[in-house]
A and B are shown apart, each in its own frame.
Chain A
């Protein structure tokens, strides 16, 4: 009965006693055990072997029949030729003609991007797509094969082999009559913008002033899955499978498993973050590999920037991965990969799509939340939430501890002066104001753009303006006497501390369900400092923590990350150069996040300014 409210005992129960007297010890125990559990999770003993949750996928059960067609070579040669002759545009009419000659109908899709920041800037582009209608069913479901169009040999490499492979697969599939889902072949212009425009147009989302997505002449049903191809060369050394999407969203693990399984069957090494599955008897070697791959995945997930165009599909509940065919030249430093001709990649893709074609339901039962230590192992949400929970618990323990040590209103009313008593409710308005300020900061980019003449007059770029505005706003808030905590009483401080801790714990635990990597990194950074800050009762000692808290400002975290990467990549350069260079790239990153917010719906800037900054600011205000 009395599990939730134990009103019987007037004396304190064991847990309350423990929290009141030993909160610090318990919290320390939690935090250290979190680290131990996290370390244990990436060892061979605790990671799980991947498996197919949906049996209908039947990967590899069918004989893959795609062979080295003369058409593949021919179309690649012609595509290279036409791309060379028209270097700065997507050869839309050529692609449409090519699709038409296969017997499909090619369509062009025009879109316009009104660049949201700085001076009025309009970017126009056109995608090309074709739909192969399924013979076994009406057009109710669709699968997408896509590729970005990169003709020139820039840093990202050209994707023409992938597009030629796509055309060749289109020709192959159009002479088969086993398809039960429509196949959409999509070539996108202007990288992610093209994909975003096409997806927006396909779903006809509400029109925004930033991206005018035009309209699609032909459509199919709801898209179930998508594979984005980025094949750079004709001979492939390894197939990199990319999964992390926008905001750290992941595709269904089954799709990843199908790709890995089929690539292995076609003797192409599937890799994840550059690593294939380690086959070694050495426990530590394997565990180290797992730990590094997991860390690499977590970093890329925490960045919330998609690792490929597949990342934009996830928002629309479309499971998508990118298959990156990395050529011999790029992978030459590692001799342990055999190279495979282009058509073999085609067989992998044929297999994937025939598997997806078998799928009777939507991907629903299997895993959406996972971390991958290798291509064949995974850590499910059931495991990785344990270290996160153990890390976030100290915040709640401390909050409870503070609450329990506060003087109670009712009991002490008769004895104490009523001004001495502080209720938690009185600390809530401050919390509310902080978040209102956070929302105002989140709307700063829009405000600045609205009054853009202000900075145009001073010949400032938007990038610099927003960067310095954010810094100065933060400083203004941080050192504003209105928001400084006026040392009224111990009890008031405790109330604020308690609310700040609960607020932080709430925000972090919500984040953990959306993007575990970001949540885990933030928790690791912020929990120890916050804990120390609220535990030290001496106000002068507390002030000594200020620089550490300053380093945890959302902007400083970003800057420090860039700085660390910069140091790691070029160790020999002068530290001052690093500092300056990092500041510059910090600005660019900020702008990139803002662009992503406006065009794709990335919520990192919003999270940082409207949620994380207020939580941080409350901690700052109580030191």
Chain B
């Protein structure tokens, strides 16, 4: 039997190798977009594509540009799709519009496992442990009490040939309090083929980018079509960094920006391994009041049309620009932008669907969570709402109410998995139709549980965090969407995922500064009270019959021993 297998293997081996010259491809880009309130959104995207099905990644024994660590990790844990992000700050949806990739504060991990994974929970455990080692993040805190398996909310990003997608294989967890810092960025940069030595990644200077208004880094693994017929897939890794800078905070109150000021360095060297390396500056709104000049002038300008939504971009090919500068004996490349007139803040129209979630009530006994979803379109919109609440907020599901403009509405689907103490979070998923021009309010009450004293987080006590809720929908209007010029050719309408705010909830917390005193006092009181109460409850009280004075020595001695 073994021999047959071996022979088959020997016969098939050349086929695998000869099938196609296995190649991987790497490209990088930076999109700079001035946001409506004067802040500058920078989206770095580093894409590595390996022309191999993700299921057969274990057959690969040599990686070129594709990161080896991730390759081994995927094949070992049989991952089909992985989305991992670390973020700091809140994406201000109402003013900034929809970003390319919405990431909440803290860590978020969403994994789809391959269908024939024998032990999904073990893989999930291994994935969190491996990632926490790879990125120096505390993902090992993701346990069963933090994990959910969303039913409707998370649709796969990549390609699943033959409809092999099974929602059962999806795992999702978020850690709202996880902080992102240099120690996460450095290992992340090491996955890139040029590290941070050359190319756009050399701009990712920790001192500068953590001094921003929003920062998020992410790693996405998914399958894409290798050819138009889509009978084979390739594995794609997208590493992205999103930074939002506030120019006045960096330029002494002035609204101008340059690559050097933002990142502390200019581009000195191109990444030779990259097949393309481009910087796009969005210039769509450059003809309005706050128009700006770019210097050096862009090489080309492209206009992209995304499902009818037109955007203009100035394009800089980094390789060419550096080559050109080098010929002129200048060893660096910088872009800077200046407003022609003084910058004027304008009223910003919020996107047509926004979601904000907040805590209601006060005190440390009861409370409520309310999510307000606004639809400013004149037509109804279907959305999916996913909320994962930690077990220590005990949700009263009977108080769940969904109202739209003060009228109760029925969700088309409602899924609720109640939480279990220390084992399972509360999981609520709602599919509903937002009426046109409406304010929909989802609200429910909760009670705060008492934690055991070892369960409190070890850091300064200001409460516990509740991870962001996710609102997923298919947009019909692309006005406030950030569009990447390289992604305009896709035909499917994109799915937008909005994350609401993380919540901070204070739990009933003992004063940890004096547990010793409390323990001592309580023990003393219990000890003192126990004896008499025990006596009172177990003995019958009777009026003592006074014996005649037993004054002789024998009586007194007898009495003495009796008393003690």
Contacts and interface: CB of A to CB of B under 8 A. Distances in A.
A565 B220 CA distance: 74
Given A177-B213, A360-B460, A133 B90 contact: yes
Contacts of B90: 133, 138-139
B541 A100 contact: no
A221 B532 contact: no
B253 A7 contact: no
A138 B536 CA distance: 58
B502 interface: yes
B393 to A, nearest CB: 14
A10 B546 contact: yes
A222 to B, nearest CB: 6
- A interface, by DSSP: helix, strand, loop or mixed? loop
- B interface, by DSSP: helix, strand, loop or mixed? loop
A138 B462 contact: no
B529 interface: yes
A545 interface: no
A457 interface: no
A137 B213 CA distance: 8
A3 B506 CA distance: 40
Interface string A358-400: 0011101100000000000000000000000000000000000
Interface string A1-24: 111110110100000000000000
B465 interface: yes
Given A140-B501, A204-B360, A410-B543, A362 B95 contact: no
B409 interface: no
B529 A100 contact: no
Interface in A167-221: 174-177, 203-205, 218-219, 221
Given A5-B535, A177-B211, A141 B462 contact: yes
A537 interface: no
A316 B362 CA distance: 6
Interface stretch (A101-109, A233-241, A328-336, A499-507): A101-109
Given A105-B95, A139-B90, A204-B370, A100 B347 contact: yes
B485 interface: no
Given A4-B529, A135-B213, A141-B462, A222 B359 contact: yes
Interface string B72-95: 000000000000000011101011
Contacts of B563: 8
A136 interface: yes
Interface in B488-524: 501-504, 506, 509, 511, 513
Contacts of A224: 462
Contact of A135 (B212, B462, B501, B541): B212
B543 A362 contact: no
B360 A203 contact: yes
Interface string B310-332: 00000000000000000000000
B223 interface: no
A317 interface: yes
Nearest to A175: B248
B306 to A, nearest CB: 28
B156 interface: no
Interface in B227-272: 246, 248-250, 253
A1 B249 contact: no
Nearest to B536: A5
Contacts of A139: 90, 501
B361 A204 contact: yes
Contacts of B95: 105
A224 B214 CA distance: 22
Given A7-B541, A138-B105, A177-B246, A364 B501 contact: no
Central interface residue in A102, A137, A140, A360, by most chain B CB within 10 Å:
A140
B540 to A, nearest CB: 11
A315 B460 CA distance: 24
A3 B92 CA distance: 64
B37 interface: yes
Contacts of B465: 140
B461 interface: yes
Nearest to B87: A138
Contacts of A361: 460-462
B501 A221 contact: yes
Contacts of A102: 345
Interface string B94-126: 110000000011000000000000000000000
A105 B509 CA distance: 35
Interface string B455-468: 00001111101000
Given A4-B532, A5-B532, A219 B511 contact: no
Contacts of B104: 138
B532 to A, nearest CB: 4
Which of under 10, 10 to 19, 20 to 34, or 35 or more describes the interface residues of A?
Answer: 35 or more
B368 A204 contact: yes
Central interface residue in B37, B214, B460, B563, by most chain A CB within 10 Å:
B460
B358 interface: yes
A301 B370 CA distance: 36
B37 to A, nearest CB: 6
A364 B368 contact: no
Interface in B138-168: none
B10 interface: no
Nearest to B95: A105
A84 to B, nearest CB: 26
A183 B348 CA distance: 20
Nearest to B91: A138
Contacts of B448: none
Contacts of A176: 249
Nearest to B244: A135
Contacts of B37: 103
B197 interface: no
Given A4-B532, A5-B532, A137-B105, A222 B356 contact: no
A44 to B, nearest CB: 29
Interface in B363-394: 363, 368, 370
Nearest to B509: A364
B462 A1 contact: no
Given A103-B37, A360-B462, A361-B461, A140 B502 contact: yes
B1 interface: no
B531 interface: yes
Contacts of B253: 175
Central interface residue in B37, B92, B246, B462, by most chain A CB within 10 Å:
B462
A177 B503 contact: no
A253 to B, nearest CB: 16
Contact of B89 (A138, A174, A362): A138
Contact of A364 (B213, B461, B544): B461
A102 B543 CA distance: 85
Nearest to B347: A100
Nearest to A133: B92
A205 B361 contact: yes
B562 to A, nearest CB: 11
A362 B461 contact: yes
Contacts of B214: 135
Contacts of B345: 100-103
B249 A135 contact: yes
Nearest to A222: B504
Contacts of B212: 135, 177
Given A136-B89, A177-B249, A203 B362 contact: yes
Given A101-B345, A177-B211, A137 B503 contact: no
B95 to A, nearest CB: 7
B425 interface: no
Nearest to A142: B504
Which 4 pairs show the lowest CB-CB distances between chains A and B?
A360-B460, A204-B360, A138-B90, A138-B105
9 contacts: A135-B212, A174-B248, A175-B253, A203-B362, A204-B370, A222-B506, A317-B362, A317-B363, A361-B462
Given A103-B345, A176-B249, A360-B460, 16 more contacts: A2-B532, A7-B541, A102-B345, A138-B88, A138-B89, A138-B502, A140-B501, A177-B212, A177-B246, A177-B249, A205-B360, A360-B462, A361-B460, A362-B462, A362-B506, A364-B511
